[in-house]
Chain A
């Protein structure tokens, strides 16, 4: 009886593993096939002829190299701004005593429930009137803002763990509040960086709605918008689309497999504290 139950559990685990991995496997294999194989007899097998040229056309004529660079730039700068603004705010909220700090914290936490859709109309109108659509900053500013609340939440978790004696000692040594923040607190916040970074990375790297609405010029497209454009251009040629999907996805997946525990912990920290 017990043995049977155990087998059932393992069958379930294996089936769900296959359901999870198959689409990823399928994506990888068709990125290396020509139409004759994809549309012909070799739909799900390994490619017979490994067509790496799909990747050159995706990166070259498909502009995936540019989109990749854009995504990297937008994501990196957004995360940097979000982390810096969050650390500064958290310092003022948790380590300086003042009356309205609790209320201000609650105010920032509103951002955890506000959907991206909330700001799309006014932000779009303002940006288009100021001729600020189709720039990197068009996405960087909203992305930093929308990751801010979570960044502050995670920062708070880490910052309250730093002993408060350190601040007092620093003040006695003649450090001002700014000195204390930059010289004492910031260096101790390194462990928080990766947690926030991982969380914010996914939000920015994969974000589609703002990017789709705010960016119409090909030069500033990020990966998700670029892939949509590419699939419109290559409707009959699946190989390069597959290659584009792999290019957008595998760097994340490979990093994840290498750092899976750290990444999982970051998500747990982000959600459970929220």
Chain B
């Protein structure tokens, strides 16, 4: 009897100790994660329902911010959404195919494979702010190399005030974005291509498939999960764009190139509308998750 009790006590002590250890090991991570990511999202959900300038307590206005976001044209949210989606379209339909093409080519072990791989990944490592500044110099209407190049080949009529003209401003953001991240997607896809067993390739070749047919019918289906990840990254990345817009156009001219993140910042610093700022950030999270799920579902649907 006595012994049973003490054994039970011991086990309880041991469990307690283990529980405490688990708690202590998780504590630093949980503190960071909950205080910076989870709690703010919960708070944002609430403050998105407020008319609030950040200083006072704010008044509860229900979903008014959300309806205003979509109906009040002066907020420019619909334009910002359109811009992000255009960016996403270019990423998915120009950047990713280019990345896939390069990955497939490098997967065939051309001469200088390592060299090309290393060079193509370089832009990924450069800060977006640096890239923005660099392209500003390229786009500069008076001294930029783009206009000078056009002048040199006598295409003066194509010269533009690239980032200042509403017709070309968004395009001048799209180009460096694509340029920077082709290498990133290429690297992921290349890793997938390299993972395809050489036996499979050989078998296809013996069956008379050309290299392109092998890529099309053997390699691409195998690396589909990676392509899915790339599509998700490209779309959510476009929704989250901030750096290049701030640097290149600052949302201008006439707010035609605003994206949700720049609007979010404007709400805080130019308009003192913290409630609306929260609304935009809630919308961004929701859109990122929704698109991630949608894209995953679309890929599953195709597999059937």
Chain A interfacial positions (CB closer than 8 Å to B): 9-10, 12-13, 16-17, 19-21, 23-24, 26-27, 30, 38-39, 43-44, 81, 84-86, 88-89, 91-93, 96, 98, 104, 108, 110-111, 113-125, 128, 141-142, 144-146, 148-149, 152, 176-178, 181, 202, 205-206, 208-209, 212-213, 223-225, 227-228, 231, 238, 241-242, 245, 248-249, 252-253, 256-257, 260-261, 264, 267-268, 271-272, 274
Contacts and interface: CB of A to CB of B under 8 A. Distances in A.
A145 B102 contact: no
B125 A118 contact: no
10 contacts: A20-B123, A43-B145, A114-B37, A119-B37, A128-B54, A144-B32, A212-B246, A227-B130, A253-B126, A264-B121
Contacts of A241: 133, 137
A121 B28 contact: no
Interface string B34-46: 0111111101100
Contacts of A261: 114
Interface in B252-268: 260-261, 264-265, 268
Interface stretch (B67-75, B213-221, B273-281): B273-281
Interface string B219-235: 00000001001000100
Interface residues of B, number: 87
A116 B40 CA distance: 11
Interface of B: 18-19, 21-22, 25-30, 32-33, 35-41, 43-44, 47, 54, 101-102, 105, 110, 112, 114, 116-131, 133-138, 142-143, 145, 148, 179, 183-184, 187-188, 191-192, 226, 229, 233, 236, 239-240, 242-243, 246-247, 260-261, 264-265, 268-269, 274, 277-278, 281, 284-285, 288-289, 292
B128 A271 contact: no
Contacts of B191: 268, 272
B233 to A, nearest CB: 8
B41 A271 contact: no
A161 B142 CA distance: 58
B286 to A, nearest CB: 10
Main secondary structure on A side of the interface with B: helix
A144 B183 CA distance: 26
Contact of B133 (A98, A111, A213, A231): A231
A206 B268 contact: no
B127 A26 contact: no
Nearest to B289: A113
Nearest to B18: A96
A13 B105 CA distance: 9
B140 to A, nearest CB: 9
Nearest to B101: A12
B116 A13 contact: yes
Contact of A148 (B33, B236, B269): B33
A121 B278 contact: yes
B40 A118 contact: yes
A144 B145 CA distance: 40
Contact of B188 (A81, A84, A272): A272
Nearest to A238: B137
Of the candidates A120, A181, A249, the one having the most CB atoms from chain B within 10 angstroms of its own CB is A120
Contact of A271 (B27, B188, B268): B188
A85 B289 CA distance: 26
Contact of A206 (B112, B117, B127): B127
Contacts of A227: 127, 129-130, 133
A16 B33 contact: no
Given A119-B37, A272-B191, A85 B129 contact: no
A30 B137 contact: yes
A122 B29 CA distance: 20
Given A115-B240, A118-B285, A264-B117, A224 B127 contact: yes
Contact of A89 (B25, B47, B278): B25
Contacts of B121: 256, 260, 264, 267
A146 B125 CA distance: 18
Given A23-B138, A120-B281, A115 B33 contact: no
Contact of A119 (B40, B120, B130, B247): B40
